[in-house]
Amino acid sequence: MLTLALWWGGWLLTADTSRSTSELAVAYTVEVMSPLDGAPVQPVWMDNVDVTLTLHLTPRTTLFFYGLGNQGGSISARVGNAQGVSNIEAPTSWRLYEAFAEHIVADGRLSVLVGLYDLNSEFDVLSAAELFLNSSFGVGAELAASSPQGPSIFPVTSPGLRLRLGLQLPSHYAGYLQAVVLDGIPGDPDRPAGTHIVFGRNDGLLLVAEAGALVHPEAPLPDDSPIRLVSRLHEHPHHHKLALGFWYYTARFQWLDATRTQRGNVGAYLLGESRLYREGSRTLWAFLRVGVAHPRVNRFGAYTGGGFSGRGWVPGRPNDRLGLALAAAHNSGAYRRLQRRQGIPVYHTEWVLEGTYLLTLSNALHLQFDLQWVLHPDTRAGSVLVGGLRLLWTP
């Protein structure tokens, strides 16, 4: 049986046979952002096209393909910040973003995934922070800048092997252990457009492990659900989450002052979120994340971020969401000393305060208003106020 459905927000194609099912989804995001104060007013438009195909070969085996298209300019170039103002900013390109096979074993508790993989789809994830547009609320600045090309995250991914084990804990608790091995340099730095899988001699590997606990889950832990959500606008079923992650690169890294090299680059992060309030359609979430990275080889030796997000707080608008959050990327001591020796004054921290409101026009159409105040952009003097408007058309 083949079913084709069109709704306001995207296409969904479902094929159902006795052996397999498939799902095709398309979503579109477009936004306009501009400095409002502290830098010349110059609007920048960006858009993002997501196309996903999920093939359920068996109840336990799934193939997943994710096509990604990006166009537009760079708002970060206008602002001059280090933490990305927009989490859809990317070089103009169409690329195969993810392509993997996932198999569930051990009575559904163990998931094995291999292929082209987005680290941030399952690692370093805070559902309460996904409302915000600044990139640091997706992956902390210290991990995002942990190598010249960054780890395997938007917009360039690398192949890897991921294991995820769901843990059945007493009462209203659940837990998980997950680890991934990835190519240390995603894509080809010399060719930023398109999809390139290159295993360079000096790439090394990126190893990441994370352990987490969920409290009072209202639904089973989704260990057997490999589908990547095109738009993460829905609150997760848990009430509370606490997770600890570690990452390590095996390649050689040069010290910031170029005096020597060392084997490896290491860091860690701790994150947590909690649903503080729920009554009817109203919810209030709080989240916090801290991260550290090796101070000799990483510009950002630490990151701290946190905030609040909620839904249903405007009378008559039960599905609208709003939030307020702060992200802080802290220069390492080695980086500050290097800048001082070169006569370049820098501050310890770049601060970003973001306030955002998501207006739900329909189940598939959303309009988001966003303001970000960037204090000490790129840890230099000054501040910039940025305003943005995003339209999301989602399944």
How far apart CA 168 and CA 322 sit, in angstroms, is 33
Rounded to an integer, the average pLDDT of 329-350 is 94
The predicted structure's pLDDT at residue 17: 42
User: Per DSSP, what are the bridge partners of residue 208?
Assistant: 180, 247
Helix or strand run (H / E) with residue 341: helix 333-341
The predicted structure's pLDDT at residue 74: 96
Q: Which segments of 5-156 does DSSP mark as H helices, in order?
A: 75-79, 141-144
How far apart CA 274 and CA 182 sit, in angstroms, is 30
Alpha-carbon separation of residue 243 from 85, 192, 312 (angstroms)? 25, 32, 27
The predicted structure's pLDDT at residue 389: 98
pLDDT band at 191 (very low <50, low <70, confident <90, very high): confident
How far apart CA 254 and CA 263 sit, in angstroms, is 9
The predicted structure's pLDDT at residue 221: 44
How far apart CA 223 and CA 233 sit, in angstroms, is 20
Between 7-16, 97-106, 148-157, 164-173, the lowest mean confidence (pLDDT) is in 7-16
Mind listing the pLDDT tens digit for each residue in 118-158?
A: 999 999 999 999 999 999 999 999 999 998 788 999 999 99
Where b means 16+ CB within 10 Å and e means fewer, 251-290 reads bebeebeeeeeeeebbbbbebbbbbeeeeeeebbbbbbbb
CA angle, 241 then 246 then 252, to 5° = 155
| Domain locations along the chain | 20-393
The predicted structure's pLDDT at residue 148: 79
Mind listing the pLDDT tens digit for each residue in 283-313?
A: 999 999 999 999 999 999 999 999 999 999 9
Mind listing the pLDDT tens digit for each residue in 39-82?
A: 999 999 999 999 999 999 998 999 999 999 999 999 999 999 99
Higher pLDDT, 170 or 289: 289
Mean pLDDT, rounded, of the chain: 88
Higher pLDDT, 36 or 5: 36
Alpha-carbon separation of residue 32 from 47, 272, 385, 387 (angstroms)? 9, 31, 14, 8
Between 139-148, 165-174, 238-247, the lowest mean confidence (pLDDT) is in 165-174
Q: Which amino acid is at 86?
A: S
DSSP string, 251-308: EEEE-TTSS-EEEEEEEEEEEEEEEEEEETTEEEEEEEEEEEE-TTT-SEEEEEEEEE
The predicted structure's pLDDT at residue 59: 87
Rounded to an integer, the average pLDDT of 191-208 is 86
Q: Which amino acid is at 28?
A: Y
CATH entry, 20-393, from 1.10.10.10, 2.160.10.10, 3.40.50.2300, 2.40.160.180: 2.40.160.180
